[in-house]
Chain A
Amino acid sequence: MTTAATKTIDEIRTGLESRSLTATALAEEHYARIAAEDGQINSFLALSRERALAKAAAIDDLAALGDPLPLLAGVPVGIKDVLAMQGSPATAGSKILAAYMPPYDATAVKKLDAAGAILLGKLNCDEFAMGSSNENSAYGPVRNPRALDRVPGGSSGGSAAAVAAGFAVATLGTDTGGSIRQPAAFCGVVGLLPTYGRVSRYGLIAFASSLDRVGPVTNSVKDAATVLKVLAGQDPLDATSSDRPADDYVASLTKPVAGLKVGVPAEYFGEGLDPEIRAAVEKTIAQLETAGCTIVPVHLPHTKYAVPTYYVIATAEASSNLSRFDGVRFGHRTESPANLSAMYKKTRDEAFGPEVKRRILLGTYVLSAGYYDAYYRKAQQVRALITRDFLEAFVQVDVIVGPMTPTPAFKIGEKSDDPMAMYLADIYSVAASLAGICGISVPCGTTAEGLPIGVQIMGKHFDESTVLRVGAAVESAQA
């Protein structure tokens, strides 16, 4: 299908200020596009038309008065369905939460709303954000707008597909092991992973709490910087959110990249990397060198241990977090159980999909008596080694650049029967997740078949400004 070009956040602001555009018309235009084309893609699970149009009318009133407009005035956005948004369901892509309507907004959603964004609705995702392909949603798979027979990536596949298809100007995704960056790479859009603690997780349905992060998916690096500016900051409702002051991410984009040291880890260019992706990423690194960056080889020796470490820690935390879904407090409950134990088990059996069950079982196993030290504690120790690799590399360099994914978007169904093959699709994304550092995926070319390729730029904790700056340089080199 042809993917529609949408306006940038700056263009929307200029249009509203000059009265050549209204927020209401823009929202209606996006809803019309969703109605006409999302039947093929399945990115939206619910539309919040009433809330969106009321907000759009309020923004149009502000513009008519000539009052200063908030940062995201009139910007049509979509929200991944693992985040709470008042007045809309929050299913987390699961049958167990089919009827759940949160009575409040997640902090990230509240901040978008306060900044004048138009909240279009809720976006499809892998069940409880568990997946690399968006084939694990109880509401059907999402298709990649760039190639409808292919996956959009997961678990924020709906968030990336909606931006790529022109259904929204920006969306919120969540990233636990790569779930913003990997779908952004597969769909040819920008996906930003903020540092752990930079954006509040309040109102996010938890998957793995020490890893989960909320971040934007956009068409451009500048749009990502603008949305992060809105989202960043400490939240008293999330004790893990950092009190470190946020930078002016948009202003930092104007600084040149010349003089920055760009680390290139050999471990990210080994066996299994698609040759077209290797070529595109190497070309991007050469472009950064031309722009005045110094290219420095770095070593991240524990890279090969990131996927096994991730799957121990993430599943252990998931098994604990998902124990709350027992039929008593949230969502689906089985009919006429014989006793309490049967109610828990039948409820969970009926409503959880196979990937969620697999991860709960794995997580319970690695936490169970006799295995805790051997698996969980060991993985936590290796997590420290992986983080140390990055801290040592960042003594020498400002950012680390490498491929985002080992292959371009794969075909729907291609890996769904082989969990190990699917887990290895995250090989370049999980290390940054474990280390808590920030990162971004920026489009850097396409394959001969026309499938998007993303380059990953990783940065120091809380140094989103530099990551975005380098991302903007990569983006401008593509033009």
Chain B
Amino acid sequence: MSETAVVTLEDVSHVAELANLELTAEELPHMQHNLNAILGYITQLNELDTTGVPAMAQVGEMLGSEVHLHGETLRPDAIKPSLDRAAVMAAAPETDGKFFKVPKVIER
């Protein structure tokens, strides 16, 4: 991470592409400005020496045996009724009653 994060317009376009977002010509420079301001602020994390510090993804990892670990208890492998199909289909924009219908978007 550089001390002064410099995100170019090309970077913003690239990240937007990765994120499946379409930004307008007006939005691009605005987002570039915002990202640079926020990432510039984030660079202060570089002040810290984190050599040897484990990355923490979930709080349970830090608590170890002091408390019961999350997710220890597994559900029984048993067949149970799931959501009612008709209720689920009722939430869909388009359905044939049995399956969701989605528009064709890939041309042969």
Contacts and interface: CB of A to CB of B under 8 A. Distances in A.
Interface string B85-108: 001101101000000001101110
Nearest to A369: B18
B77 interface: no
A337 to B, nearest CB: 6
A383 B56 contact: yes
A461 B83 contact: no
A240 B60 contact: yes
In this complex, which of A302, A308, A333 has the most chain B Cβ atoms within 10 angstroms of its Cβ?
Answer: A308
A343 interface: yes
A384 B62 CA distance: 7
A365 B22 contact: no
Nearest to A365: B15
Main secondary structure on A side of the interface with B: helix
Nearest to A315: B38
B22 A345 contact: yes
A111 interface: no
B65 interface: no
Interface residues of B, number: 57
Given A240-B70, A241-B70, A328-B102, A308 B41 contact: yes
Interface stretch (A265-273, A370-378, A445-453): A370-378
A479 interface: no
Contacts of A420: 37-38, 41
Contacts of A293: none
Contacts of A346: 22
Interface in A405-442: 419-420, 423, 435-436
B106 A378 contact: no
Contact of A308 (B16, B44, B102): B44
Given A239-B71, A311-B38, A305 B45 contact: yes
Interface stretch (A59-67, A94-102, A125-133, A275-283): A94-102
A103 B84 contact: yes
B31 to A, nearest CB: 6
A462 interface: yes
Interface in B45-72: 45-46, 48, 50, 53-60, 62-63, 66-68, 70-72
A345 B1 contact: no
Nearest to A352: B21
Nearest to B71: A239
Contact of A364 (B1, B15, B38, B71): B15
B33 to A, nearest CB: 10
Given A339-B106, A365-B35, A419-B37, A243 B68 contact: yes
B62 A391 contact: yes
Interface stretch (A49-57, A159-167, A256-264, A355-363): A355-363
A8 interface: no
Given A339-B105, A361-B19, A380 B90 contact: no
In this complex, which of B12, B21, B27, B88 has the most chain A Cβ atoms within 10 angstroms of its Cβ?
Answer: B21
B9 interface: no
Interface string A307-349: 1110110000001000100101000010001011101111011
Contact of B15 (A102, A243, A361, A419): A361
Contacts of A384: 53-56, 62
Interface string A223-241: 0000000000010100111
Contacts of A371: 1
In this complex, which of B19, B34, B75 has the most chain A Cβ atoms within 10 angstroms of its Cβ?
Answer: B19
Contacts of A349: 21-24
B70 A242 contact: yes
Given A365-B7, A380-B56, A419 B34 contact: yes
Given A103-B83, A380-B55, A361 B70 contact: no
B45 A309 contact: yes
Given A100-B91, A344-B20, A346-B22, A196 B48 contact: no
Contacts of A387: 56, 59, 62
A141 interface: no
A309 to B, nearest CB: 7
A368 B15 contact: yes
A380 B55 CA distance: 5
B90 A101 contact: yes
Contacts of A362: 35, 38-39
Contacts of A341: 20
B13 to A, nearest CB: 10
Interface of B: 1, 7, 11-12, 15-16, 18-24, 27, 31, 34-35, 37-39, 41-42, 44-46, 48, 50, 53-60, 62-63, 66-68, 70-73, 75, 83-84, 87-88, 90-91, 93, 102-103, 105-107
Given A305-B48, A380-B55, A385-B50, 11 more contacts: A242-B67, A242-B68, A341-B20, A349-B24, A358-B35, A361-B12, A368-B18, A371-B1, A382-B45, A435-B59, A436-B63
| Closest A-B pairs by Cβ, 9 of them | A436-B59, A380-B55, A345-B22, A374-B1, A103-B87, A381-B50, A384-B56, A239-B71, A364-B19
